[in-house]
Amino acid sequence: MSPTAALIKAALNSNFGWSIVRHRLFVQKRDRWMVPLVALGVVGVVPTLVLYVRLLGDVFDMLNSLGQEKALLTLAVLAGQLMILVFGLFYLIATFYFSRDLEYLIALPLKPSQILLSKFAVVLINEYLTMAPFILPALIVYGFKRHGDPGYWLIMPLTYILLPVIPLTAAGLVVVGMMRLVNVGRKKDLLIIIGSLVLIAAALFLQFGLSRAAGTSDLDTQQIMSMIASPDGLVQTIGRRFPPAIWATRFLHDGLMTASGLCAFALFSGLSILLFGGLMAGAQRLFFGGLVGLSERSGVRVRGGKALAIKFSSGCHPVRAIFLREVRLMNRTPIFLLNGVLGVLLIPIVLALTLSSSKQGTDSADILRLMTSAKPATGILVTTMFMIVCATLSGVASSSFSREGRKFWISKVIPVGYRQQVSAKFLHSSAIALLGIGSAVAVLALRFHLGAWQWLSSLALALPVTAFITSLNLAVDLARPLLDWISPQKAMKQNLNVLIAMLFDLGFLFLYGLAFVALGKSGLSLGAVIGIMATFGVGLACLAFTLVSQFALRRYPSIET
């Protein structure tokens, strides 16, 4: 086996840890209780996936009636590549430059391009898994709706393999260049955060521009009719600012046995190879320059003994002290800060930009206002779910213990009760969640122009449910904290606990929605339904917090570090 292949194999094994999982399940016979829990979480997601597939089928039928069914492929490819471009930045920065194994790898007789290739392979595999539930259903629905053309099923896996290469390599080139620049200053962490925010803002505005280009609100009736009359009219309109989406659509629809399909495949694969080669060449020149010195910290003047005595004898409450420790741990690690804080803000920002992409204003906002006026219960349920998703999607609570890493032993020996530590982590996770809820309320009130009664009712429902989900996610991470991570990204977005907690959250939200709808159909007034569900949420939140606090008393001493 070549050194490059061995390095990639070791990196993938370290990232996914299948050997550790296999050893714990079948040799040590531990963590077997998680198998039925994961299965239960997957079952909870199935109804959402079924609804998504039905929606895709309806979209295909609508486009097919206009002769524009190929546009579904263009939308799927464009959405997948934009999602990779935005979220891939987190993975690339963390994996390329903040993995703990880098200090050992650079000492080995390996080229910079070999090290970067192994890291890139890890990010690429993770991106395949990330976009699978969103993109694969669209590609599969299109294949079945076309009555199963055999050529399509042969090309579709190849398309899926190539799909993330262009945006990921383009983002990788920018990240390598940015890290080489920010590594010349003293405030490296601050420069990394600022540079990452600039890159993410650029990616969001690119999405904003593509959404505007794909819109038809600025077209008159004659132009719309002309677009529909052309078999590729809608495809060209959607993908005119991002030609790779058009190329992928052509070779998926036309096949590789046609001149147009073969030419489109050559363009798509050629651009992928060109960008990948550019990334490897850039790594050879810039990677080590951006890596060396990242572990250094700016000099800080050490306080005198008297100042330290005043600081440590100030009588800070233990819960407040642990809360401040959580804040500092997140703020001092760029990847934690970007994933945690930006994670709860990203969905409202993207939604606000999407609304702004309509050149004539507020079609989506008008639809939601019409829904809330015609069916107020449905509108309140939708806005409540939106607030909860914005608050809990970042994975802050479900990685709260894992983020401590190998230094978790400190939490076991400090003179602070385990319940107090859990309370501090709950408050910190809730503070991040409130930031997400606040941004969601701002979008609903300022962009959708919802009335105060509507968003206040949703807020009364969302707050206790968010508190319940926060306690649930803390319990998931406390049950099996990931403490031996080699990259900060693995502690959060590549942490299996985050996925397990997300499955539980989706299952609970589905049941919560069913209960809300059932109460609405029982003849109760909307105010009574909101009151019952809010009271139910408060009770669940109190019960969950009590249980996770009790669980901490038994679990903390048994955690191995």
Please return the burial class of 443, using the count of CB atoms within 10 Å of its CB with bins 0-12, 13-18 and 19+: buried
Residue-range definition of the domain harbouring residue 362 = 316-561
CA distance 514 to 517: 5
**Cα separation of the two ends of the chain:** 34
- pLDDT tens digits, one per residue of 434-452: 999 998 898 888 877 778 8
Are residue 290 and residue 326 in the same domain, yes or no? no
Q: Which pLDDT score is estimated for 355?
A: 57
Q: Is 427 within a domain?
A: yes
Q: Is 88 within a domain?
A: yes
To the nearest whole number, what is the mean pLDDT of the chain?
A: 79
Among 19-23, 85-89, 322-326, 461-465, the range of highest mean pLDDT = 461-465
Domain count for the chain, please give it: 2
Q: Is pLDDT of 73 > 70? A: yes
Are residue 394 and residue 287 in the same domain, yes or no? no
57: tokens are: 């089928």
| Angle value at C-alpha 551, between 546 and 554, nearest 5 degrees | 140
- pLDDT tens digits, one per residue of 449-475: 778 888 899 999 999 999 999 999 999
Q: Is 309 within a domain?
A: no
Q: Which pLDDT score is estimated for 468?
A: 96
Q: Which pLDDT score is estimated for 354?
A: 59
Phi-psi region of 241 (alpha: psi -120 to 50; beta: other; left: phi over 0): alpha
Are residue 288 and residue 358 in the same domain, yes or no? no
Contact 387, 437 (CB under 8 A): yes
Q: Which pLDDT score is estimated for 359?
A: 47
Q: Is pLDDT of 369 > 50? A: yes
Q: Is pLDDT of 203 > 70? A: no
Residue range 523-543: average pLDDT? 92
Contact 43, 215 (CB under 8 A): no
Strands (E), 181-294: none
Residue range 365-369: average pLDDT? 57
- pLDDT tens digits, one per residue of 381-432: 888 998 998 888 888 999 999 988 888 888 888 888 899 999 999 999 999 9
186-190 own/partner pairs: CB under 8 Å, 24+ apart:
186/298, 187/298, 188/293, 188/294, 188/296, 188/298, 189/332, 189/334
Are residue 79 and residue 137 in the same domain, yes or no? yes
Q: Which pLDDT score is estimated for 499?
A: 82
Q: Which residues contact 51 (CB under 8 A, 6 or more apart)?
A: none
CA distance 197 to 203: 10
Taking alpha carbons only, the member of 482, 488, 507, 322 closest to residue 398 is: 482
Q: Which pLDDT score is estimated for 191?
A: 60
Are residue 272 and residue 320 in the same domain, yes or no? no
| Model confidence, pTM | 0.70
Q: Is 310 within a domain?
A: no
Q: Is pLDDT of 193 > 50? A: yes
Q: Which pLDDT score is estimated for 302?
A: 46
Contact 533, 455 (CB under 8 A): no
Among 56-70, 134-148, 401-415, 531-545, the range of highest mean pLDDT = 531-545
Q: Is 407 within a domain?
A: yes
Are residue 179 and residue 149 in the same domain, yes or no? yes
Are residue 327 and residue 281 in the same domain, yes or no? no
Taking alpha carbons only, the member of 247, 248, 235 closest to residue 227 is: 235
Q: Of 263, 295, 327, which marks where a domain is finished?
A: 295
Q: Which pLDDT score is estimated for 294?
A: 53
Q: Which pLDDT score is estimated for 295?
A: 53
Are residue 111 and residue 146 in the same domain, yes or no? yes
Residue range 74-78: average pLDDT? 85
DSSP 274-330: HHHHHHHHHHHHHHHHHHTTTT-----PPPPHHHHHHHHTS---HHHHHHHHHHHHH
Are residue 289 and residue 320 in the same domain, yes or no? no
501-to-177, 423, 556 alpha-carbon distances in Å:
35, 19, 19
Among 5-9, 38-42, 174-178, 215-219, the range of highest mean pLDDT = 5-9
Are residue 291 and residue 327 in the same domain, yes or no? no
Q: Which pLDDT score is estimated for 19?
A: 65
- pLDDT tens digits, one per residue of 246-290: 888 888 888 888 888 899 999 999 999 999 999 898 888 877 776
Are residue 253 and residue 202 in the same domain, yes or no? yes
Are residue 236 and residue 358 in the same domain, yes or no? no
Contact 442, 347 (CB under 8 A): no
Between residues 97 and 77, the one the model is more confident about: 77
- pLDDT tens digits, one per residue of 278-313: 989 888 887 777 665 555 554 445 454 555 444 544
Q: Is 224 within a domain?
A: yes
265-to-151, 182, 275, 514 alpha-carbon distances in Å:
14, 37, 15, 46
Q: Which pLDDT score is estimated for 494?
A: 73
- pLDDT tens digits, one per residue of 132-166: 888 999 999 988 887 667 888 888 899 899 999 99
